[in-house]
């Protein structure tokens, strides 16, 4: 496996944890008043103008590198699929990080749900719904995205297995 895939994966994890922290404690979307008010489905202007460009760059860095190098078509396909896996991983980890560790272990003062995992009716459960397993609320989109990430990473790895560049 190429080092840039590993570093892009680690970059996604670090950015996701940091972004979950930022969203939980600082609510940055309330500070971006000069931005035009845009909402596309569940995404506000802050997510569209800040998170999306960073997500694309961090998640697809290996693919961007391949586009501007003499990489083989197989390598480009492999890094593109890896980037898709990263692009799904980042919002999943960011969403989980909002709750664990930040809200559960380090609740903000005045948070009525401080110390609690995801509750029914919160924004993340409104995307596709939720199920409850042993008293734990799990957003349904988690159950779709997590296996998709694994499949994309596996296919990306299987395409090259050391043969690409």
Q: Which two structure tokens, joined as six digits, stand for 16?
A: 């996701």
pLDDT of residue 151: 98
Please give the span between the terminal C-alpha atoms of the chain, in angstroms, as a whole number: 11
pLDDT at 49 over 70: yes
On the CB side of 15, CA atoms within 13 Å amount to 22
Which pLDDT score, from 0 to 100, does residue 48 have? 78
Q: What is the pLDDT of residue 44?
A: 73
Query: Given this model, what pLDDT does residue 2 score?
Result: 76
Nearest to 118 by CA among 106, 130, 108: 130
Alpha helices (H) along 27-139: 45-46, 52-59, 61-67, 73-97, 104-105, 123-126
The answer on pLDDT for 161 being more than 90 is: no
Q: Output the pLDDT for position 29.
A: 61
Residue 102 gets which letter from DSSP?
Answer: I
Comparing C-alpha atoms, which of 127, 123, 124, 105 is closest to residue 114? Answer: 105
- How far apart CA 75 and CA 17 sit, in angstroms, is 29
Mean pLDDT of 105-134: 94
Q: Domain spans of the chain?
A: 3-107+145-160
Cβ(63)–Cβ(82) under 8 Å? Answer: yes
Q: Which tens digit of pLDDT belongs to each residue from 139-155?
A: 999 999 999 999 999 99
Tell me: pLDDT of 78 over 70.
yes
Q: At what angle do helices 52-59 and 73-97 cross, to 10 degrees?
A: 130
pLDDT in tens, 1-33: 578 899 999 999 999 999 899 888 887 666 666
* Spatial contact of 125 and 137, defined as CB atoms under 8 Å apart: yes
pTM of the predicted protein model: 0.87
């Amino acid at each position: 496996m190429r080092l840039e895939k590993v570093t892009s994966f680690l970059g996604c994890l670090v950015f996701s944890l940091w972004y979950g922290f930022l969203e939980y404690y600082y609510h940055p979307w309330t500070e971006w008043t000069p931005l035009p008010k845009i909402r596309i489905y569940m995404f506000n202007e802050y997510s569209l103008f800040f998170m999306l460009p960073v997500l694309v760059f961090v998640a697809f860095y290996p693919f961007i590198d391949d586009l501007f190098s003499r990489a083989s078509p197989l390598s480009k396909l492999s890094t593109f699929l890896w980037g898709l896996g990263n692009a799904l991983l980042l919002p999943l980890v960011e969403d989980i990080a909002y709750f664990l560790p930040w809200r559960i272990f380090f609740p903000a003062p005045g948070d009525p749900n401080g110390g609690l995992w995801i509750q029914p009716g919160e924004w993340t459960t409104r995307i596709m719904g939720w199920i409850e397993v042993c008293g734990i609320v799990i957003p349904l989109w988690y159950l779709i995205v997590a296996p998709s990430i694994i499949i994309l990473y596996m296919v990306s790895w299987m395409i090259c297995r050391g043969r690409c560049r």
